[in-house]
Amino acid sequence: MDEVKGTGGSVKRPDKRAERSRRTREKIVAAARDLFVAQGYGVTSLQEVADRAGVAVQTVYFVFRTKRGLFKDVVDTTIAGDGEPVATMDRAWFRAACAEPTAAGQLRSHVRGVADILGRVAPIIPVIAAAAATDPEIAAQWPAAGPDPRYTVQHAAAKALTAKPDARPDVDADRAADLLYGLLSPELYLIFVRDRGWSPEAWEEWAATTLAAQLCTDAPLSTGRGQAGVS
């Protein structure tokens, strides 16, 4: 941080170099994401990414080292919504949802948060699958076998939800996690929104009401974000 001297002593101000570096990184990631989604990982060159971001290709190499490194950063940033290294379960939206006093309230907030993530992530899911099919190192980063981090997140949400007074007593945390994991999956989101033409709001409404019927003792809730159906 730079310091400015004044009558009250030293005052810290933002480091201009660090801020420029952050903006450059964001531009490169945004450009790469657009190109990967539009034309795929394999055919996209780092020179194309640099041209789209308005930087020298040497800058891309300096920041990310390799195309695989850039791709991982694109995926991680897309999931998180920003470049901060904060896990999903430590994100403010997830903690706030789990802190809701009722299962219905938690479910409504949780579906809203997941919907925001899926709106960002869903377009890049097919890109990951295609890249993993041809690049063993990328496949190793997102293995098809083994524990899915998404399930870990949904199980944590399910444990909080099933402990609340309006949760269905005949549904345990494992069953609730399975339902959250399946119905809030990017694959199902793509079927409805991309393939069948539903609006994201309509998908969110359907997911919330469907899950409420399965997990809550109260009547199915409404998110107020649209009617299930084609936009």
User: Domain map of the chain by residue range?
Assistant: 12-85, 86-231
User: Is domain 12-85 annotated with CATH 1.10.10.60?
Assistant: yes
Per-residue pLDDT, 141: 80
**Is pLDDT of 35 > 90?**
yes
Stretch 99-124: mean pLDDT: 94
Split at pLDDT 50, 70, 90, the class of 16 is confident
- For every residue of 176-229, DSSP letters joined together read HHHHHHHHT-HHHHHIIIIIS-B-HHHHHHHHHHHHHHHHBSSPPP--SS--SS
| Mean pLDDT of all residues in 172-183 | 98
Q: pTM of the entire structure?
A: 0.78
How far apart are alpha carbons 229 and 231 in whole angstroms? 6
